[in-house]
Structure 1
Amino acid sequence: MRETSSTAPLSPDAGPATALGTGGDTSATAPVLLAFEGLSAGYADDPIVRDFTTDIAAGSITTIIGPNGAGKSTLLKAVYGLNKYFSGSLRLAGQAIEKLPPRERLKLGIGFVPQGRCNFPLMTVRENLDLGAFTLRGAAVTAAMDRVLAMFPLLADKLKVLAGNLSGGEQQILETAMVLESQPRLLLLDEPSLGLSPANQDQIFDTIAQLRSHGLTVLVVEQNAHGALQISDTGIVMELGRIFMVASAAEVISDPRVKVAYLGG
C-alpha cells in the first residue's frame, strides 16, 4: 500500500534531523520492547526504509508521521515481515526477528492491523471474531472472544450484525479486536483513522489510548498527526525512508518545523 500523509515534506533547510530520545514518561522508564538498529527494508532491489535506528518502549504508544513516500507503512510491514529485509537488526524483547516469517512473529506476540478495511463484510461480527481467533483452539477461543468483548462492549451488542453494516469506526474497532484475540504484546496500526469522520476518528484514538491501559505496546502510522500524537508517548517523523526526528510526543507537537508541515501551524 502507498505511504500516506496529508502534507508536504518538511523543508530540506528546516534544520538537521533531531534525536531527542524516546521521551515521554512511559518511554523514559519502561524497558525496550522493540529495538531497530540500522534496519533497511523495502521491495525487490530497492530499500525504502534506510538505516532506521530507535527503541520502542514497552507499554508505550509511538506515532510515526511523515509525507507521502516516507516509508511509514513500509516500516510497519518490515516489523511484521511482509517485505524484503536488506540489512541491520530488529529485536523483540532482545530476540532477533528480522529474518523470521510473519507467522513466527505472530507467535512471538506481534499483531498487525493493515491500512484499509480488512474484515469480512458479509459475515457477522461474531463470525469475524471467530476468524480472528484462528490460532487458538478449544476453550481459548471463547476466552479470547470474552476478553475482547469486555474491552470493546459496543461489539457485544452487535454480534449478529454484518460487519459491512457497521460504521467505519466500528469496523476499525472490530479489526483491532480480531488481532487482539491472539494477545499480542506489540500492536502495529497502519492509518487507523483513514477515511473516517471526525467523530469516528476520535473514537479510534480513544480506543488506542485504552489499549495502553491493558499493557499493550502500540506502534501507529497515522495521517491525523495531531490526533495521534495527543495520545502518544513518543513521536517519530520520517522523511525519505529515514528518521528526521524522534522525541516525546509533546516535543514533536511543539516543534515549529512539524507545526508548519503537519499541524497546520
Structure 2
Amino acid sequence: MGLTAEYSSSNIIGSIINVPLSPIQKLVSTVRNKVGETVAMFKDINSIKQENESLKEEVERLRKENRELKEFKLKKEELESLLNIKNQFNEYDPIGANIIAKDPGNWFITFKIDRGTNDGVDVNFPVINSDGLVGRVAACHPFSSQVVALIDAGTTVSAKISRTRDPVRVRGDLALKDEGLCIVDYIPPDTDIQVGDTVETSGLGGIYPKGIIIGTIIEIREISNQLNKYALVKPAVDFRRLENVLVLMRKTE
C-alpha cells in the first residue's frame, strides 16, 4: 500500500509537471521554426535583391550595347550614303556639315551650318543629304554658312520627271511652305505626268547637278480657263527633322 501510494503520488506530480510543459515546448518549437523561416526569408530577399541588381546591370549593359550598335549602323549607313554620293557626283567633293541654328518654326527653311569659306564652301553650292535635295548655300562666313531650303518661297530648281524625262520647274511657294510642299510648273502640255512620279534635278541652271532626287508628285491641278497645269511635290527630304547635310563642292584641278 505504501509503495502504491508513493508511486501514485509520483505519477500525479509528474503529470502536473509534464502537462503544462508540452504546449510550452510546442510553442517554443513553433517560435523557433518561425524565426528560422523569417531568417531564411530575409536571406532569400537579400539574395533576390542581389539578383535584381545583377539583372539591372545586365539590362543596362545590353541597352548600352544596343545603342552602340544602332549608332554604328547609322554611321555605316551614312558612310555608305557618302560613298554612293561620291560615286554618283564624282565631279564634286561632298563635305559633311552639322546644322547649328535655324529660323523659328517647325520647318528647316533657312538654317546655319558649321562649314564656311575656311572649309572651301561658297555661295550657291548645292546642299543634299542621303534622301535628296536640301537646298543651296545662300551666304558664307569663315566658319559657317546660311542654307536656303528647297521649300523656301524664293527657291527654283530646273528639274525633270524621272519616268518620262520631261523638263519641269520646281519652286517653293509661300502658301505651301508650312505644309512642306513645293510646286511643279512649266509642265509641257503633252507631258504624261502622274501622281507618284519622281522628280529629280535636270542639271540645267548651273547650280544643281543632275540626278538629285527632289520628291514625289502627290497631286496634279488644272489651271482654270488655261490649257496648262501644275502639280504638288512632296520633297524626299524631311524638312522638319534635319541634323546633318552634305555640301557638294566642285573639285578644283
* TM-score scaled by length of structure 1: 0.28
Q: TM-score by structure 2 length?
A: 0.28
* Larger RCO (CA under 8 A, 6+ residues apart): 1
